[in-house]
Structure 1
């Protein structure tokens, strides 16, 4: 499942490492967080440095590691306060029994405990300790106090421990912790988008990719569409607060995060699913799919064998999906796409009127640097006359950037 990297690329994770053999896992955790695109800084207690060196974390994070509260250079700029303000999340992994006790009772005798009191960021702790220390009444009492204070406790795993005991107390695997952090920021971003996003409260249906029209059980008619533009639009609409259903032709792309996906093959299947989605409720319909104009009149039941130099295949016209949806009684805001090889703007403007669309985005697929199979695109957008908006030229950019600009154009048209 894919995620919008822009959501987390500006997020700052302050990772605190405390004393315990599980500190070696924290080195892997830094790498996993960086892989997801987070900015990571590391704070180490004196106990942590007995198990792993600051140099390791400096190399992995690309940032200086912080170990001392009373560091003359850092304190000149109130270093601990700067760190506390920098963090979007304070993650303590592993969190020792001693650290939990300090947090619970408000002690501030080292850098980490001071940061805990000074930060406004959410605080997560991943306890790691001997199973008997975890079960001790004092530890459980401290954990309860932290939960009441709003600290998120990531429960330890069970299993064999370095001391030879077996039971609860193992720090969860770095991959799991990094995934939880990623999900938290995406859920937070989603909650904001659903309330304040450009398409907040809207239900969007998008068609994407090619269709395949069968000739026989092993052959078909199709085109070069990869679905990248439609999938990028699905991500952008979801990020803008919409509920998104993606009707996808046969493509090898991961489903965008938070998007409901319906897979189809033929144009008739795509039309049927589009009409069904209309019944469920649809505010905006975006037709990016490269739907085959024709299908085979009679699909062979078995594989057609070579029997001569020529093969005649009779074709019949497929229904026009976007025009069909535009004519429905429950008509949503209609967005069409035009992929042309010549007279691009002229053809697009004609389709806008002929198919009764609200908006159409066109591009020149004869160019080798944009369009099908490319990660970049450039488009011109036309609006129906009733929206009183001038055409927009979207300069060459990544399809994700183009998708964001198209969402902005849709949002503008909805209020005009």
Structure 2
């Protein structure tokens, strides 16, 4: 599991939540992608469920399910965790996105960022993002070289222009090199603070 090291200058720039009350969403759809950071997702879901009393459901890319089996998230959330559209006779991407107050892509790989930026929906996570009417917040996780690529930065800029929230990644230990070349998820508390600020910002614009 990745070891996190964050300096004061690396803290993500988050919308202010100084006037924060209760978390401004009750039903959170977590879309998990195939980064090593998905190994920390069970702990993050425990925080969401037990500290904030959120109702959480999980969808996974096939790559994410190879890190952590979908059944683990079913047990953690009390809801079936889905990997693809064939697991039910219903239309899960429509049912799930109609249910959700917030879609949280945690973690988000470079591949999923690119697909979301270009409207590609070739798996359940992609179809959920394309069908979502609730706000979407993406939490990137990849190595530094990938994060700094112009193509990735163009995709991030496009996502922000389209109204998605994108949490700036922080330095983490890259499992492949043993160095702080990873760019991964900040602690879940910081992710949720960013998400709350994004939701309140959107509510303020609508108001």
TM-score normalised to structure 1 length: 0.42
Report the counterpart of residue 69 of structure 1 in structure 2.
85
Greater strand content: 1
Please, which runs of 5 or more residues in structure 1 have no aligned partner? 196-416
Deviations 1:217-243 (A, max 9, x none): xxxxxxxxxxxxxxxxxxxxxxxxxxx
Q: Spell out structure 1 runs of 4+ moving beyond 6 A.
A: none
Question: Paired residue for 2:168, among 146, 155, 165?
Answer: 155
CA distance 1:31–1:180, change in 2 (3 Å): farther
Asked whether 1:146 is paired with 2:159, we answer: yes
**Across the two proteins, how many residue pairs are aligned to each other?**
187
Quote how far apart the aligned CAs of 1:168 are.
5.4
Quote how far apart the aligned CAs of 1:79 are.
2.1
Report the counterpart of residue 187 of structure 2 in structure 1.
173
CA distance 1:30–1:74, change in 2 (3 Å): farther
Quote how far apart the aligned CAs of 1:4 are.
5.6
CA contact (8 A) 2:167 2:194 kept: no
Question: Paired residue for 2:37, among 12, 19, 22?
Answer: 22
Question: Paired residue for 2:110, among 84, 97, 109?
Answer: 97
Quote how far apart the aligned CAs of 1:182 are.
4.5
CA distance 1:189–1:128, change in 2 (3 Å): closer
Question: Paired residue for 1:49, among 65, 74, 79?
Answer: 65
Q: Which has the larger radius of gyration?
A: 1
Quote how far apart the aligned CAs of 1:124 are.
0.5
Greater helix content: 2
Report the counterpart of residue 12 of structure 1 in structure 2.
27
Q: Which has the higher contact order (CA 8 A, sep 6+)?
A: 2
Report the counterpart of residue 34 of structure 1 in structure 2.
49
Report the counterpart of residue 135 of structure 1 in structure 2.
148
Please, which runs of 5 or more residues in structure 2 have no aligned partner? 1-17
CA contact (8 A) 1:25 1:174 kept: no
